[in-house]
Structure 1
Amino acid sequence: MPLGVRIFLVYFLFVGLAGWFVLSTVMDEIRPGVRQSTEETLVDTANLLAEILRDEVKAGTLGQGRLHEALEAYGRRKPQASIWGLTKAEVNHRIYVTDDKGIVLLDSTGLAVGQDYSRWNDVLLTLRGQYGARSTREDPEDPDSSVMYVAAPIRDGQQIIGVVSVAKPNRTLQPYIERSQTRLGWLGAGLIALGLLIGAALSWWLSAALGKLTRYAQAVSEGQRAEAPNVRGGELRQLAVAVERMRTELEGKAYVERYVHTLTHELKSPLAAIRGAAELLDGDMPAEQRQRFVANIQQESARLQNLIERLLHLAQVEQRQGLEERVAVPLAALVDELLQAQQARITAANLQIEQALPTGIELRGERFLLRQALANLLDNALDFTPPGGLIRIAAERQGERIVLRLFNQGEAIPDYALARLTERFYSLPRPNGGRKSTGLGLNFVQEVVDLHGGELQIGNVEGGVEVRLTLPV
């Protein structure tokens, strides 16, 4: 299972359980919270009524006043109040008053006058000087039928002369409880969903970052040219930098070791020729023979210099992971520049040059590298084209790519050599004298093409050899 998926599952489990626990706890607290708030209001109401009714209870005139009619009128009121989107269409308080024995003197419903309520906790505890409250079901089988009763003492000085109780059915609170639970449920579900989305995004980002680092490490281990991934984030960024630094140091060490070994091997032959010629020049010999050995030393020295320069160019390209710039390079003008530089060789060999390069075609990349690559291809074509032969350069745009074809008339490349032409230090003998080149030119071209995201193909065609260079626009 991918690491990102595992992280998300752990996050999902944690957020889901935490969200469920918090939401369940809050849901369970809504009902008692609403009832506690209602009870606090009932306490205030009961104590207010106790002060209002004190004089009438003390005088024994409670049943003779207009309070009974007022309570009946109160019960018939239709407030039509909109409370947080819910309409309150009727009043729901029940109020009754008892004497100091618990006998009901007044009841807003008119049902309990004269009854003994001294056994009910609201009256019993209040008459004892304690806080009196109770919750009683109107239907013993229905838990939602309970009614809250809160009482307050009616005092004459320090003496309790009666009790006033205010009742509120819990069913009248249920719409507000359900509304709060519904809103909280949606809000909680939304927050959990948002948390999961954030967790999914975080897991995806972490998985993507680790995937970039993994692919980069695999590419480096396979010897591919790859740029260090751009990873954001403290530790991941530090890891990417550390991997890149390790790659650079390891590649640099291996690169130096490989090139020292290769350079040592390639320098043996020209150095041996120079040393042999120098030893022979120590002795007496005819001037003509001496001149031949001096020319041999000059030729081998030039070969050494050419080898070193090409190795330096190749080393610069092979160590790079990407282009330093991408500029528009007009192809026709670049080829004209290269042909002008080789004009002396073209004229001396009486070669025919054909160009079919549209003026509007442009390559995009590093001009120096593209120039060096095309110069190597043209140099190879000049070496293998017989005197009076034909070199043809053509280009065309195919969709989002530009295809450059360089044809030179000459002998076909042997089949065994076709697959090795871009190998370092592999070279075929030139037709004029059988000498070999450094074997670095086509390897350099391949590296430049890879840097530009293109493709190099070399093959035999009718009448000669064609190099096909494909580069993205």
Structure 2
Amino acid sequence: MPLGVRIFLVYFLFVGLAGWFVLSTVMDEIRPGVRQSTEETLVDTANLLAEILRDEVKAGRLQQSRLPAMLQAYGQRQPQASIWGVTKTQVNHRIYVTDAKGMVLLDSTGAAVGQDYSRWNDVLLTLRGEYGARSTKEDPNDPDSSVMYVAAPIMDGARIIGVVSVAKPNRTLQPYIERSEQRLAWLGGGLIVLGLLVGALLSWWLSVALRKLTRYAQAVSAGERAELPSVRGGELAQLAEAIERMRTELEGKAYVERYVHTLTHELKSPLAAIRGAAELLDGEMPGEQRQRFVANIGQESARIQQLIERLLHLAQVEQRQVLEEQVAVPLRALVEALLQAQMARIEAAGLRIDNLIDAELCARGEVFLLRQALANLLDNALDFTPSAGLIRFSAKATGSRIELLLFNQGAAIPDYALTRLCERFYSLPRPGGGRKSTGLGLNFVQEVVQLHGGELQVGNVEGGVQVRLVVGRA
């Protein structure tokens, strides 16, 4: 299982459980919280009514007062109030008054007048001087039919002369409870989803960064050219830099060792030829023969110098992971400059040159490297094109890429050599002498093309050999 998925699952489990616990706890507190607030309001209302009713109860004229008619009118009112999105269309308080013995003197519903309420907790406890309250179901089989009763004493000095009770059905609180629960459920669910989304994004970001570093490490271990990925975040950025430093150090050690072995192997042959010629020159010989050995020493020395220069150029390209610059490079002008530099050799061999590249076509890349790559390809074409033969440059744009073609007349490349042309130090004998090159030219061109994100192909076509080079278009 990927690390990012594991992190998200742990995060999901933690956020989900924490969210569920908090949400369920708060939801469980909504109903008692609303009822507690309502009870507090009923206490205030009951005590206010106790003060209003005191004189009438003390004088014993409660039934003859205006209060029964007022309570009846109160019960018929239709407030049409909108409270937090809930419309209230009727009043829901029930108010009854009992004397000091618990007998009902006044009932806003008119149903309990004359009944003995002394055993109900609201009246009983209040007459004892305690806080009187009770909750009673109107229908024993209906848990939602409970009614909350809160009482307050009617005082005559220090003596309790009666009790006023205010009741409110709990079902009238249900719309507010349901609305609060619904809003809380939406908000809580939204926060949980948002938290999970943040966790998913964090896991995705971490997974993407780790996959970039993993692909980079795999490419480096496979010997491929790879650019250090851009990774944000303190520890991840430090990890990327550490991997890059490790790659540089390891590649540097292996690179130096490989090139020392390569250079040693390739220098054996020309050094042996120079040493042999020098030993022969130490003795007596005809002038013509001496001149031939001196020429051999010069040729082998030039070969050593060319080998070293080519290796240095190749090393510079192989060690680079990215281009130092990416500019528009006019291909026709670049090829013209290379042809002018080789004009003496071209005229001496009587070669025909066709530069069919459109003047407006521009490649995107590093001028110096593209010039060196095309110079190597032109050298090979000049080596293998017979006198009076044709060399033709052409190019075409295909979307965001440019396809450059270099054709030269000449013998076809042997089948056994086609797959080895870009190998380091592999070279075919040149026509008219059998001399071989350093075998680094096409290898260098391939490295340059790969550095530019392109591709190189060399193959036989009708009448000669064609090199196909693809790079980005400016």
State TM-score, norm by structure 2.
0.96
2:119 maps to 119
The residue aligned with 1:15 is 15
Structure 1 Cα separation of the partners of residues 456 and 178 of structure 2: 74
Find the aligned partners of 1:465 and 1:103 in 2 and give their Cα distance.
Answer: 122
Identify the residue that residue 134 of structure 2 maps to in structure 1: 134
Conserved 8 A contact 2:267-2:304: yes
**286-295 or 112-121, larger mean C-alpha shift:** 286-295
Partner residue, 2:349: 349
Alpha-carbon offset, residue 340 of structure 1: 0.2
Which residue pairs with 1:66 in the alignment?
66
User: 1:378 Cα deviation (Å)?
Assistant: 0.2
Report 1:236-315 matches (<5 A): 236-315=236-315
Taking only aligned residues, the RMSD between alpha carbons, in angstroms, comes to 1.6
Show the counterpart of 2:225. 225
Give the drift of 1:123.
0.9
- The Cα of 1:100 is off from its aligned counterpart by 1.6
The amino acid that maps onto 2:409 is Q
Once residues 151 and 52 of structure 2 are traced to their aligned partners in structure 1, the CA distance between those partners, rounded to angstroms, is 14
Partner AA of 1:268 in structure 2: K
Question: Which residue type is aligned with residue 301 of structure 1?
Answer: S
**In 2: Cα distance, 1:200 partner to 1:78 partner:** 52
Q: Is the 8 A contact 2:352 2:391 kept in 1?
A: yes
2:189 alignment partner in structure 1:
189
- Once residues 468 and 115 of structure 1 are traced to their aligned partners in structure 2, the CA distance between those partners, rounded to angstroms, is 111
Structure 1 residue 154: deviation in Å?
A: 1.6
C-alpha displacement of 1:57: 2.1
Corresponding letter in the other structure for 1:247: R
Deviation at 1:108, TM superposition (A): 1.4
- Counting matched residue pairs gives 473
1:143 is the counterpart of 2:143: yes
What's the offset of the Cα at 1:295? Answer: 2.7
391-400 vs 321-330, which moves further: 391-400
User: Which residue pairs with 1:41 in the alignment?
Assistant: 41
Deviations 1:24-57 (A, max 9, x none): 2222211111100000000111111112222222
The 3-state SS of whatever aligns with 2:412 is: coil
Q: Which residue of 2 aligns with 1:373?
A: 373
CA apart distance, 1:175: 0.9
Question: After the TM superposition, which residues 325-404 of structure 1 pair with which residues of structure 2 at under 5 Å, given as runs?
Answer: 325-404=325-404
Per-residue CA deviation, residues 215-236 of structure 1 (Å, 9 max, x unaligned), is 2222122211111111222222
* Bigger shift: residues 290-299 or 208-217: 290-299
1:242 partner amino acid: A
Aligned to 2:99: 99
Distance 1:135 1:384 in 2: 109
After superposition, the C-alpha distances for 1:238-272 in whole angstroms (9 at most, x for unaligned) are 22222222112111111111111101111122222
CA shift at 1:157, angstroms? 2.2
Deviates more, 1:359-368 or 1:32-41: 359-368
Match of 1:436, SS?
coil
Residue 273 of structure 1 and its aligned partner are, at CA, apart by 2.4
Tell me the secondary structure at the aligned position of residue 8 of structure 2.
helix
In 1, the alpha carbon distance for the partners of 2:225 and 2:389 equals: 38
Q: Percent identity?
A: 82
What is the Cα deviation at residue 114 of structure 1?
Answer: 1.8
Structure 2 counterpart SS, 1:301: helix
Q: CA deviation at 1:286?
A: 4.4
Q: Does 1:173 align with 2:179?
A: no
The AA in structure 2 aligned to 1:442 is L
How far apart in 1 are the matches of 2:279 and 2:54? Answer: 139
* Deviates most, 12-21 or 407-416: 12-21
Q: Which residue of 2 aligns with 1:235?
A: 235
- Does the Cα contact within 8 Å between 2:4 and 2:204 map onto a contact in 1? yes
- Matched residue of 1:259: which SS? helix
Q: Gapped runs of 5+ residues in structure 2?
A: none
Match of 1:335, SS state, is helix
CA drift at 1:288: 3.9
TM-score by length of 1: 0.96
Q: Which moved more, 1:216-225 or 1:372-381?
A: 216-225
- Partner amino acid, structure 2, of 1:133: A
1:161 equivalenced with 2:135 (yes/no): no
Of 78-87 and 463-472, deviating more is 463-472
User: 2:36 is matched by which residue type in structure 1?
Assistant: Q
What are structure 1's unaligned runs of at least 5 residues? Answer: none
CA distance in 1, matches of 2:123, 2:67: 20
Deviation of the 1:285 alpha carbon: 4.4
What is the CA distance between 1:283 and its match in structure 2? 4.1
Q: Secondary structure at the match of 2:437?
A: coil
Equivalence for 2:50: 50
Other-structure match for 2:108 = 108
**Letter in structure 1 aligned against 2:80:** Q
Structure 1 letter corresponding to 2:164: V
Instruction: Please say if residues 365 and 472 of structure 2, whose CA atoms lie closer than 8 Å, have aligned partners that are also in contact.
Output: no
Looking at structure 1, the residues matched to 395 and 107 of structure 2 have their Cα atoms a distance apart, in angstroms, of 107
Compute the displacement of 1:106 (Å): 1.6
Per-residue deviation, 1:14:
2.3
